[in-house]
Amino acid sequence: MNIGLLGFGVVGRGVYEITTSRDDMQVKKVLCLEDINLPDAESVKDIKCIVEDPSIDTVVEAMGGLHPAYEFVRAAIEAGKNVVTSNKALVCTFYDELLPLAKEKGVSFRSTAAVGGGIGWLSELERSRRVQKILEVGGIMNGTCNYILDNMTRFGLDYAEVLKQAQKLGYAEANPSTDVDGIDTWHKVILSSNIAFGVTVDKQSVPVAGIRNIQAQDVENFKAHGLVCKLISTGKRNGEGYSIYVHPTLVKEGDLEAAVPMNYNLITFVGETSDRMSFYGQGAGRYPTAYNVVQDLVDVLEGKGFYAPYGEKVSADNSVELTWYVRGNWTGAVAENWGEAVVTKAVSVSDMHAWIKENPDAFVAAIR
């Protein structure tokens, strides 16, 4: 396998380093805006140098973002090259375009590292759905948010203080909105639901709320009631439809998710036959993520394409009702008062997320 590598940052460099020890694949060219010198690969600045090179059969996209990643990946598929990517935003956003195109061109398309970093989550979903119906997917899918919530819980720190720590350690970007507003998790649960249920979820029908507004007083409230806050995603079969959403969720102190520390992920599926199966590991980082990219390259060598057939377009039905912790100007039905916050009576996911949009300074968490 001869590889054209797009990007030479954290993940791209990791892929290069792992493949140098293998004799069944080699990075031949690296697309990088900076000048780099590699002993066995050519550095190029024009995507045409890769997509128009007949000796390159596989392209690894490790650039991140939507543009120009989308244009480059599409050009690679059009040129008849296999594609492996770790870019969850790319796959989620252009799911209904890139998958049919890859099938039309007869090339493989893999993205295991897009969800769970070093956890082989999507590849395990692929194996599982061959023999059983998947009923539910979700869990803790973002290491940055988990690091923040874990440190606030264990050390009683304020959100802003922990966020600065996360940024110093490289767990959070200078602009952390993609993580703390739940967008990263939103992409991941949509992609996971697509594969688990064999559908194409309308992204706009999936609501998301993040952890930006959580305060130390909220965490103390949770502790007083034996609860722990985590940012949890859910994709669930709901009769003939699907409930899919992302928001902070309060779990009991003894629950599995409550014990997940630092920047780790815990992702779960529930199958008709297997029941609950959970996968734990680092959700980001150079070598954990690059490891799954290389796993995908091995799968491409073995002729494996995408994880599930391209499915019908569906919208999420989030009429399921939950009880909620709300600190903000809540005027609906109240079951309990917790200091400055309240616990609501049952409210549907769709109605609560609509209220969150109208009250952007509030903090809301579902109570499981």
pTM: 0.95
Residues 102, 156: one domain? Answer: no
Residue 31 C-beta-side C-alpha neighbours within 13 Å: 23
Of 188, 252, 345, 357, catalytic: 188
At 199, list the tokens.
């559908």
Cis peptide, bond prior to residue 248, ω within 30 of zero: no
Residue 309 lies in a domain: no
Cα separation values, 257 from 252, 254, 278, 288, Å: 9, 8, 10, 21
Residue 301 lies in a domain: no
Residue with tokens 């952390």: 176
Summarize pLDDT for 14-59 with one digit per residue, the tens. 999 999 999 999 999 999 988 899 999 999 999 999 999 999 999 9
Residues 131, 192: one domain? Answer: yes
Report the CATH number at residue 269. Answer: 3.30.360.10
- Write out the chain's pLDDT in tens, 368 residues: 999 999 999 999 999 999 999 999 999 999 998 889 999 999 999 999 999 999 999 999 999 999 999 999 999 999 999 999 999 999 999 999 999 999 999 999 999 999 998 899 999 999 999 999 999 999 999 999 999 999 999 999 999 999 999 999 888 889 999 999 999 999 999 999 999 999 999 999 999 999 999 999 999 999 999 999 999 999 999 989 999 999 999 999 999 999 999 999 999 999 999 999 999 998 777 888 999 999 999 999 999 999 998 899 999 999 999 999 999 999 999 999 999 999 999 999 999 999 999 999 999 999 99
- 188 an active-site residue? yes
DSSP 133-164: -EEEEEEE--HHHHHHHHHHHHH---HHHHHH
Last residue of a domain, which of 62, 91, 110?
110
At 177, list the tokens.
């909105």
Locate all alpha helices (DSSP H) within 170-226, ordered by sequence: 177-180, 183-197, 216-224
Last residue of a domain, which of 84, 110, 136?
110
Q: Is residue 85 a contact partner of residue 117, using CB atoms and an 8 Å limit?
A: no
Domain span at residue 77 reads: 2-110
Residue 307 lies in a domain: no
Q: Which amino acid is at 292?
A: N
Residues 161, 46: one domain? Answer: no
